[in-house]
Structure 1
């Protein structure tokens, strides 16, 4: 076996192991069965078993002894806590979300891109009695399935956007049915500077804008949701004005700080 072959084999094993961790992470709350792991990873039973056992040995994942489901392991938490001070900026985005909830009276969300998914990290509600709880904190969704993810997609360069959509084509097609629906929302966002998304079955309308990091790359979004009858006219204009103000402030403060990865 040549040196290049050994390197290629090692890289492939790392890629497969990382994919297993990502699959388990996306289903962490409910757990992932071994059959689901094989199906989603595309690995054979022996290879999936070998990699899973290695990850368990190093505490990156764990397997419940009764249900046999896989979950993230304690090592993931330890590593996350170690890097949190360097990459978190909650001291910036959480006050912004709270100000928007108070200023608009509506429900405000902060979602961050990780890999191919958007994760809801914060949800705050204003004083309007009808709440738009379209997301719970901790929920992960494929980018493009919600207003925040659409805002991030729209803010990407065309080539990066196309690659991201291609990567998640199956999930997006399952959700929208017709690809033109999502494309139309993105085109409107490019014209307006924000995403406006309807959820007819809930009677909810959401406004969202992307946040850019210090490298000027979109990586997160803030969205404001309310009932459709409220999110229109003068109120919608007020929401857009407040949201733009907070987004511009966040972008500027992040531009002057460390890179957010």
Structure 2
């Protein structure tokens, strides 16, 4: 029999999988795969979560979605944890200044989670990031810039316990990833040259807490032609300026 801790851990994994599947949701098999659970176990736990209002199911599609009770819980927790109000002016300024889509993501354990998005005036969008999207550290520009600003010992421990290449391709193997980390440390900002979706590029700068640890990232994304080499230093400087300003505002 599963211990209460096992059940809670599996339920949390399912909720994270549902968050990643928003806004359209996903079927039981896809949610189970994302949570690394057997399908029967996932279905049993999803049904229990639905009974508590933590999950919901679209009767037309059969897709599972986050439930209404999570909105109420999130509202209660917002006073302690919500940083989007402080981040929003910086994200909006980046979008208006550059014309690109701008984002704020936060670190949660071994992942970054996108909390905020503002679209700029350029009509072609990149859709890799969206509110609620989660990526492992080292993946997309936000995850890369956060990882690069961790101490070497933590970086190596993370690479030892992760297999990013299996899911995200050989460019995320430890060797190439270490090279990109070194480049981030030289530049101050991170570049994702279309490694997740071909032609969809991104740049990010880290936001820090009072102790100097990376807690999140501001990101710009767009099509490849908008991130030409001649433009990158200007975009990097804008990202660093806003990231430093947000760090000062939150510490």
- 1:72 paired to 2:66: yes
Distance 2:242 2:205 in 1: 10
1:232 aligned onto 2:229: yes
Within the candidate set 196, 209, 212, 2:208 is matched to 212
Aligned to 1:95: 89
Shift of 1:210: 0.9
Counterparts in 2 of 1:25 and 1:108: CA distance versus 1, 3 Å: closer
| Residues 1-261 of structure 1 aligned to structure 2 (within 5 Å) | 9-44=3-38, 47-115=41-109, 116-119=111-114, 121-125=116-120, 131=124, 133-135=126-128, 137-138=130-131, 140-143=133-136, 144-165=138-159, 168-170=162-164, 172-178=165-171, 179=173, 180-199=175-194, 201-202=198-199, 206-225=202-221, 227-228=224-225, 231-233=228-230, 235-255=231-251
Give the conservation status (yes or no) of the 8 Å contact 1:21–1:72.
yes
TM-align CA RMSD: 3.1
Equivalent position SS for 1:224: strand
Hey, what's the Cα distance between the residues in 2 that align with 1:240 and 1:67?
43
The 8 Å contact of residues 142 and 168 in structure 1, kept in 2 or not, is answered as no
Q: Structure 1 residues 164 and 82 mapped into 2: Cα distance closer, same or farther (>3 Å)? A: farther
Tell which structure's C-alpha radius of gyration is larger: 1
Instruction: Check the 8 A contact 2:84/2:116 in 1, yes or no.
Output: no
CA contact (8 A) 1:108 1:123 kept: yes
* Residues 42-101 of structure 1 deviation map (CA, whole Å, 9 limit, x = unaligned): 445554343223212211112233433221111111111111232222332221123233
* CA distance 1:167–1:130, change in 2 (3 Å): farther
Distance 1:77 1:241 in 2: 36
Indicate the residue corresponding to 1:259 in structure 2.
none
Q: Map Cα deviations across residues 89-119 of structure 1 (whole Å, 9 max, x no partner).
A: 2332221123233444544332333452432
- Answer yes or no: is the 8 Å Cα contact 2:189–2:240 preserved in 1: no
1:116-174 Cα shifts (integer Å, max 9, x gaps): 24325212315xx575535453261423331122111112233433454456525x433
Contact 1:120–1:136 (8 Å) recurs in 2: no
Worse-superposed segment, 11-20 or 36-45: 36-45
Q: Would the aligned equivalents of 1:97 and 1:124 in 2 still touch at CA under 8 Å?
A: no
For residues 165 and 79 of structure 1, do their structure 2 counterparts lie closer, same or farther at Cα, with a shift above 3 Å needed?
Answer: farther
How many matched pairs? 244
Gap runs ≥5 in structure 2: none
Note if contact 2:112-2:216 (Cα within 8 Å) is conserved in structure 1. Answer: no
